[in-house]
Amino acid sequence: RTEPVRMHLRGRSEDAAILGLVDDAQLLRVVDEQRGPVALPAEGLVMSSLLARSIGARTGDRVEVEFRLWNQTRTTVAVVDTVQTMMGKQAYMQLDALNRLSRDGAGAMEAALQVDPQAMPAFWAAVKAAPLINAVFDKAGTMASFNETTSRNMGVFSGILTLFAVAMAVGIVYNAARITLSERAWELASLRVLGMTRAEVSVLLLGQLSVELLVALPIGCVAGWALATLMMRLMSSDSIDFPVVIEPSTYAMAALIVLAAGVVSALMVRRQIDRLDLVAVLKVRE
């Protein structure tokens, strides 16, 4: 059962909805992002974090609830718990407690069903023949369509960002290598004159670049996480608050791209070291 309400607390008002659920519900439950399924108390509200933040409610507060349908009663009820949710400003109660609170008798407005796919034709026929059923929501079909659309859009968006990121990584690493070579050209040429081979000189320069790259990788991962967190905070609203979830594979892919850029840059710099004109470099220093 879903009841549209207006909640009042300490001078704040917020339109919301109270969902009344049966005690042993399996298909429609209150789930916290961190704690998992949450049991509803016999009395009182379990409020979503978005609604609690919007109205300024904390556990133990008593909010005034104004029902918008039927009897339009006003009453106060305690906030027993809050749950971390990604979207929606709603509160939850046991169905019996909500029926008593609304004072319009026992009843239910909706039901969550699990139907065998092979029995779907018969189910749809029965639904169409039932005059009391106003609407049917196919969660599996809706979620499949949503996931397909979201995956396609996010795939294009992520692909474009990945291409830009790869180009930037290659450019930054290669430019850093070129700058280091320019700064160390005289020293490298001097070492060559003193008898070091091209390979030994290359190891010195590329070793320095490797250390810088390995030090930069964890710093870049932390900076990327901070940037993603900032972006999600800026995108959050009163009704949507998506968490930041970065898979280990994302960090691995980013690190591999940077390492690949480092290898390519190292090969290009190595060719420039091999072509280093010792006489010209030493004359420039003079």
pLDDT reported for residue 207: 81
pLDDT reported for residue 106: 67
pLDDT reported for residue 272: 75
pLDDT reported for residue 107: 65
pLDDT reported for residue 44: 85
3-21 residue pLDDT tens: 888 888 888 888 888 888 8
pLDDT reported for residue 108: 67
Task: Assign 3-class secondary structure to 185-231.
Answer: HHHHHHHHHCCCCHHHHHHHHHHHHHHHHHHHHHHHHHHHHHHHHHH
Extract long-range pairs of 55-62: CB within 8 Å, 24+ residues apart: 55/7, 55/9, 55/12, 55/13, 55/14, 56/9, 56/10, 56/12, 57/7, 57/9, 57/82, 58/82, 61/9
End-to-end CA distance of the chain: 87
pLDDT reported for residue 161: 82
Domain parsing of the chain, residue ranges: 2-110, 142-285
45-74 residue pLDDT tens: 888 888 888 888 888 888 888 888 777 788
pLDDT reported for residue 13: 86
pLDDT reported for residue 152: 81
Q: What is the pTM of this model?
A: 0.61
pLDDT reported for residue 177: 79
pLDDT reported for residue 281: 54
CA atoms within 13 A on the CB side of 170: 9
Query: Residues in the chain with pLDDT < 50?
Result: none
